Amino acid sequence: MKSSAKILIGVVIAISFLVGFFIGITVNSQKTDKQELAGTFGKYLDSEVVDNNMHLRADLLSNEVMLNKYRKYYNFHSSSCVKLCEDLDFAIQTSEKIPEYMKGSSTIIENVKQYRLSLQKTLEDISLANTSLQQISQSNENEFPKVINNANIGIAQINDKENCMPTFVESVEKFISGNNPYKYSDLIKAHDMFAINQLVVAQ
């Protein structure tokens, strides 16, 4: 039975990597957009610079191409953040329904919960940036750079704080290797979601 379980785990992980690879290809154009914006954002990322820079709003109002890139950039990260939050919620809810998994993984799930809470604040900051960009002509000139900066900081922290995800993936693989995988299909699904997220982030 253990040999069958290991084979199934290997197949599942292989499929996850393949799916992640193709997802990575589909988001490659989004990555290109982010690279194009890197130089532009570099001008505004530093908090002290942003706090004192009152020209960002005017720059965007006078440059429709750059404004559209900003909107596309934050729309992409907003959608990605919403999807990640959904995956985290699924993993938390699934894990808490399996006492035998939680017995040795409660700390790991608590870290996932904390990451989920931090993402909620990030999502709020990105949403505010989106709203400000959509209604830029009505936005407050003094507050606008700070709104954009807060969103940028949140986006950077998505990757900085996501180390709980590979830890979760490893814990599920260890748990499944000693149990019947057919009993834990949702836990394996949560594992696959996290594994794919890791691959997409790495693109």
Distance of CA 187 to the CA centre of its chain: 20
Tokens 């559209």 belong to: 68
No. of helices (H) and no. of strands (E), the chain: 9, 0
Q: Is the pLDDT reported for residue 160 higher than 50?
A: yes
Q: Which two tokens stand for residue 72?
A: 């596309």
The answer, as to whether pTM is greater than 0.85, is no
Amino acid identity of residue 166, one-letter, is P
Domain that holds residue 142: 2-202
Evaluate whether 102 touches 109 at the Cβ level (below 8 Å). Answer: yes
Cα gap 150→126, rounded to integer Å: 8
Total domains, the chain: 1
Q: Which pLDDT belongs to residue 29? A: 44
Residue 63 near residue 40, CB atoms below 8 Å: no
pLDDT per residue over 33-89, tens digit each?
A: 555 554 445 444 444 444 445 688 989 999 999 999 999 999 999 999 999 999 999
Report the alpha-carbon distance of residue 109 to residue 88 in Å, rounded.
10
191 or 46, which is more confident?
A: 191
Residue type, 149: N
